[in-house]
Amino acid sequence: MVARDSKQTAPLEPRAARLEPASTPIGIFGGTFDPIHYGHLRLAEELADRLSLAEVRLIPARVPPHRGTPRVTSAHRLEMVQLACAGNPRFRVDDRECRRQGASFTVDTLLELRAELGHQCVLALLMGVDAYLALTTWSRWEQLFELAHLVIAHRPGFELDTGELPPALASQTAARLLRDPTQLRLRPAGAVLTVDIPPLDISATAIRAALRSGRSPRYLLPDSVLDYIGRNHLYKELDAG
């Protein structure tokens, strides 16, 4: 019989389970960008800082399902986005929707990105309040939560009131809403986060109107984009919206 040491080691206390970050989040920012302007760029830069994003992918839509036909071709809009993003190492221009035929559904883009980046990559779909309020009109909108976090940029002082949302979206929002941005890193998708962003009161519609009437929109968009518009004689036709 083997003698036991009288100084037995105390049993180890079980450690609390610790959640490890899935990956550094990647921001996904889609739009018509007709044309891209400082409002778009500042929102992307602000969210990249606030959420510590590895990068923001700007994805021009070829055929936006919820807007009128863009004033210029997807090739021109893609080129303007590339010019606007040049020199910013955190911005990456993704042309997949410009290459895809048919309507530019966000869910299809996220499915493609998931296939390329893997299921553990943290994706954050960046959008404004108006887009989120209309989310139930998007194609396969409930699947978006399986593919990415939804980050809603809004003006300071705004509160997302689930009582004003369609019932199905209100239920999803209440179950997924986060208060701490750092928690986005703990899982690849599925949360809703609101982030207040100081607004820049700039719109593509106002820029097109200025160009149509011969007024200068300089300082509303990058000079490289404005120069491209001038060289290619864009936005000279009647603008209906």
**Does 11 score more than 50 pLDDT?**
no
Residue 110 lies in a domain: yes
d(CA 77, CA 32): 8
**Does 20 score more than 70 pLDDT?**
no
Reported as a single tens digit per residue, the pLDDT across 105-148 is 999 999 999 999 999 999 999 999 999 999 999 999 999 999 99
Reported as a single tens digit per residue, the pLDDT across 37-72 is 999 999 999 999 999 999 999 999 999 887 778 989
Which tokens in the block code for residue 9? 């080691």
Biggest CA pair distance of the chain: 101
CA distances from residue 93 to 30, 102, 118, 155, 160 in whole angstroms, order as listed: 10, 20, 20, 26, 30
Lowest mean pLDDT across 4-18, 82-96, 129-143: 4-18
Residue 228 lies in a domain: no
Work out the number of other CB atoms within 10 angstroms of the CB of residue 221. 23
What residue ranges in the chain does DSSP mark as E strands?
A: 26-31, 55-60, 91-93, 123-128, 149-154, 177-178, 192-196
Reported as a single tens digit per residue, the pLDDT across 145-169 is 999 999 999 988 888 888 889 999 9
Bridge partners for 57 per DSSP: 28, 92
Reported as a single tens digit per residue, the pLDDT across 173-216 is 999 999 999 999 999 999 999 999 998 999 999 999 999 999 99
Residue 186 lies in a domain: yes
What is the reported pLDDT for 160? 86
Given CA atoms 213, 217, 223, 228 in this order, what sign does their dihedral have? negative
Q: Is the peptide bond before 35 cis (omega within 30 degrees of 0)?
A: yes
d(CA 239, CA 137): 26
Q: Tell me the mean pLDDT in the region 76-97.
A: 98
Residue 239 lies in a domain: no
Residue 211 lies in a domain: no
What is the reported pLDDT for 21? 53
> CA Rg, the chain, in Å?
22
d(CA 48, CA 57): 11
Q: Tell me the mean pLDDT in the region 208-226.
A: 97
Residue 163 lies in a domain: yes
What is the reported pLDDT for 65? 86
Residue 70 lies in a domain: yes
Task: Give the CATH number of the domain where residue 34 resides.
Answer: 3.40.50.620
pLDDT band at 15 (very low <50, low <70, confident <90, very high): very low
What is the reported pLDDT for 136? 97
What lies within 8 Å, CB to CB, of 43 at 6+ separation is: 29, 126, 128, 153, 197
What is the reported pLDDT for 221? 98
**Does 99 score more than 80 pLDDT?**
yes
Number of domains in the chain: 1
**Does 18 score more than 60 pLDDT?**
no
What is the reported pLDDT for 9? 37
Q: What is the DSSP string of 166-195?
A: -HHHHHHHHHHEES-GGGGGGSSS--EEEE
Domain of 194, in residue numbers = 26-202
pTM of the complete model: 0.88
Residue 213 lies in a domain: no
What is the reported pLDDT for 17? 41
Q: Give the residue among 25, 11, 14, 64 at the shortest CA–CA distance from 189.
A: 25
